[in-house]
Amino acid sequence: KAAFMNFISDKEWKSIEPVSSWFGPSSWLMSSTSALFQLSMWIRHVHDYFTENLGIPVWGSYAIFGLATLFSGLILGLVSEAL
């Protein structure tokens, strides 16, 4: 606590270089990273719903997500070829 108080009172924070705009909280890179974390949490909630509420075995949930990944890749590939 004392070191932090000295950091503030002695204005040592002025000597620290600011964070690069790439790593700033509002940059597109950090926003994308946040979106990926939110997606992973949503996938985890869906997995829990499948296994706990619907009674699907864990391997069945993994199979559903695997098939969803395959089909979404197939659809994205077909759309990109059509363009």
> pLDDT tens-digit profile of 4-32?
888 888 888 778 877 677 677 778 888 89
Total domains in the fold of the chain:
1
18's tokens: 């600011």
31's tokens: 């926003």
Q: Which domain holds residue 6?
A: 1-82
Rounded to two decimals, the pTM is 0.62
Q: How far apart are CA 83 and CA 72, in angstroms?
A: 17
* Count of C-beta atoms within a 10 Å radius of residue 8: 9
Length of the chain: 83
Q: How far apart are CA 50 and CA 46, in angstroms?
A: 6
